[in-house]
């Protein structure tokens, strides 16, 4: 079951989100959904009427569509529903931002076979998990999933290898936010925000000690990634120096402005 945190917005209910998650794993009819919820005892099972109203609302929001329809002799229609691209995007946002950290990996892993999953970097992370030894650093892997989970690949870049650097940027920022966690907590100025990107506001709480150890192990297992982090920091430092030089070049203009007649 997709349990959301209390801070979740009211756009979609917990039951609707759970139905969306089930349909993202495999298209199904209302009868099939009813059977799944009854067998798994989710929400104590959901009646046909309840599921019908949920399906109708999800369809109205554009989150699901009829994949296949079959007409019975009685004239009634047997409809199989599937998640749309919009519905899949909504589901990813729900999982990454609004469920407990401990559930993120489990929920994302179940929808990796969906045709839309390949459009997101969480799919790349699962695909590269063993290659990058991420199975040895489970909590760090979870944080990677949370930050890079909703990032989508460039639609114009179809080659997997060309999209990977975009994915790596999120991983670099997570590692930096963990390595310099104490400094980040005590110094929330703009420079840190630029360096850490979306990870600047991450609060790792009691997990920070374990995460630091996992980052160490991850970097030892992936020396190439340590080089990527260093390259990133050097590039950002160079960029900031260029900004500083440009700003300093503006100083004489202030004096000239004061002396000039308007």
Domains in the chain and their CATH numbers?
14-116 (1.10.10.10), 121-248 (no CATH)
pLDDT of residue 9: 46
20 or 8, which is more confident: 20
pLDDT of residue 70: 78
pLDDT of residue 21: 96
The helix/strand/coil state of 110 is coil
pLDDT of residue 24: 97
Give the mean pLDDT of 235-262: 87
pLDDT of residue 45: 78
Q: In 61-120, which ranges are continuous DSSP H helix? A: 85-98, 101-109
- What tokens does 183 get? 């400094």
The helix/strand/coil state of 7 is coil
Cα–Cα distance between 134 and 97 in angstroms, integer?
21
Cα–Cα distance between 249 and 229 in angstroms, integer?
30
Nearest to 67 by CA among 83, 45, 54: 83
Weakest mean pLDDT among 10-24, 106-120, 152-166, 247-261: 152-166
Q: φ, ψ for residue 98 (rounded to 5)?
A: -125, 5
Q: φ, ψ for residue 55 (rounded to 5)?
A: -60, -40
Give the mean pLDDT of 171-176: 90
Give the mean pLDDT of 120-138: 92
124's enclosing H/E stretch is helix 121-127
Per-residue pLDDT tens over the stretch 141-158: 999 998 888 888 876 666
């Amino acid at each position: 079951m997709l349990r959301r945190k209390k801070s979740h917005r009211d756009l979609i209910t917990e039951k609707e989100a759970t139905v969306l998650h089930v349909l993202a794993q495999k298209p199904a009819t209302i009868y099939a959904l009813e059977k799944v919820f009854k067998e798994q005892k989710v929400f104590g099972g959901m009646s046909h009427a309840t599921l019908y109203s949920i399906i109708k609302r999800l369809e109205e929001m554009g989150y699901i569509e009829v994949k296949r329809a079959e007409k019975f002799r009685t004239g009634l229609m047997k409809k199989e529903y599937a998640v749309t691209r919009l519905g899949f995007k909504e589901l990813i946002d729900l999982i990454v931002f609004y469920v407990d950290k401990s559930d993120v990996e489990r929920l994302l892993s179940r929808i990796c076979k969906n045709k839309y999953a390949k459009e997101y970097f969480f799919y790349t992370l699962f695909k590269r998990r063993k290659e990058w030894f991420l199975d040895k650093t489970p909590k760090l892997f979870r944080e990677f999933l949370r930050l890079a989970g909703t990032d989508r690949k460039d639609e114009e870049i179809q080659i997997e290898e060309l999209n990977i650097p975009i994915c790596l940027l999120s991983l670099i920022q997570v590692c930096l936010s963990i390595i310099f966690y104490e400094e980040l907590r005590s110094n929330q100025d703009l420079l840190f925000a630029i360096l850490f990107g979306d990870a600047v506001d991450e609060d790792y709480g009691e997990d920070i000690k374990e995460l630091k150890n996992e980052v160490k192990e991850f970097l030892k297992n992936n020396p190439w990634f340590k080089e990527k982090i260093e390259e990133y920091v050097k590039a950002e430092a160079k960029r900031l120096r260029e900004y500083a030089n440009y700003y300093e070049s503006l100083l004489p203009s202030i004096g000239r402005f004061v002396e000039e007649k308007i």
